[in-house]
Chain A
Amino acid sequence: MEKRNDKMHELFRAMPEDKLPASFRERLMQEVAKEAEIQQRRSDRRGIWIASITSLLLVSLVLVFFVCFKMPGFRIPGFNMGEIAFYFSIGCSALGLLGLDYLVRRKLEKKAALSNKSKNQE
C-alpha cells in the first residue's frame, strides 16, 4: 500500500485547499492568553490550597503531640506584674530618650542651616 507515487497522489496534491482567515492567528493567541491566565490562576489556587492544608496538618500534628503525648514538655511561666512594670518603664524611658535625641538633632541642624545661609549672603 505504501506506494504514494501514483496518479491518485498527484490528484490529491492538485486538490485546492481551503485557507484559514488571516485573523485566525490573532484570535487563537487571544484564546491561548486567556487559557494561560486560567492555568496560572488555577496553579496559584492549588499552591494556596497545598500551603493551607500543609499548615493545618502541621498545626494538628503539634496539637496532637502536645495534648495527647504531652510533648514537648515545656511550661509557659505565669505573669509577674512587678516585672512587667519594670520592663515597661525601661522601654518608655528608652523611647523618650530617642524622641528627645531626634528633636535636639533637628533643632541643631536647622540652626546650622540658618547660619550657613547668612554666611553665604555676607
Chain B
Amino acid sequence: MELYTDTYYIQRIRAGHIESFACLADRYSQTVFALIVRVVQNREDAEELTQDVFLKVFRKLDSFKGDCAFSTWLYRIAYNTALSAVRKKKLEWLTIDDSTLNNFADTAVDNGLDFETTEARIVLLEKALDQLSPGERALILLFYKEEKSIEEIALISSLTQTNVKTKLFRIRKKLYGLFKQMED
C-alpha cells in the first residue's frame, strides 16, 4: 500500500525536505533502471544513466507543472536520456525493410505470437529484443513491461497516439519475424 502520493513528496522536496526524494527514488528507480538497461544493453551504463535521470528530475522538479502524472514525466526523462546515450554510442541494430514486414499477415502475427510462456520463449524474446532498435525496444517495453497506455507512451515519447499505435504494430510484426527466423 502506498502511504503518500507522488505530489505529497514533490511538495515536501520543494519545501526543502530533500530526504523525501529517497521515497520517490525507492518507488521508481527499479522500474526506470529495468527500462534503461534493456534500451542501452549495458548494466554499468544503465546504473549511471538511472542516477542521471533522477538527478535531472531533482534539478527540474520546479518545472514540473503537474499537467501529467509524475511517473509519465519521469519516464519521459528516462526515455530521452537512454535514447540520447545510445545515439552517442552509435550502435548498430537489425533493420527489417517494409516489404518483409508486409509479407506477414496480421492474423498470422496474432496467431504466431499466441504461444505458451516457457523458459525457451523468454530467452527467444530477449534475443529478439536485442535486435530491435533502442527506440523500438523502449516503446514495446513501455507498453508490455511497464504497462503504460498508448496515451502515456505518446506523452513519454513525444509521438502522436496514432504514431505510437503504428509503431507498436510494426514492432510486434518485427518480433514475430525475428521469432520465426530464430525458430527456423
Contacts and interface: CB of A to CB of B under 8 A. Distances in A.
B21 A1 contact: no
Most chain-B Cβ atoms within 10 A of its Cβ — which of A10, A19, A28, A31? A28
Q: Which of A1, A14, A19 has the most CB of B within 10 A?
A: A1
A27 to B, nearest CB: 7
* Chain A, interface residues (CB within 8 Å), range: 20 to 34
Nearest to B145: A12
Q: Is the interface of B mostly helix, strand, loop or mixed?
A: helix
B149 A2 contact: yes
A20 interface: yes
Nearest to A8: B113
Interface stretch (B26-34, B78-86, B90-98): B26-34
B182 interface: no
A15 interface: yes
Interface residues of B, number: 43
Interface of A: 1-2, 4, 6-21, 24-25, 27-29, 31-33, 35-36, 39
A11 B43 CA distance: 22
Interface of B: 18-19, 21-22, 25-26, 29-30, 33-34, 37, 43, 46-47, 50-51, 54-55, 58-59, 110, 113-117, 121-122, 125-126, 140-141, 143-145, 147, 149-150, 165, 168-169, 172, 175
A12 B144 contact: yes
Nearest to A40: B16
Contact of B168 (A1, A7, A12, A35): A1
Contacts of A28: 22, 25, 29, 51, 54-55
A7 B113 CA distance: 7
Contacts of A7: 113-117
A82 to B, nearest CB: 60
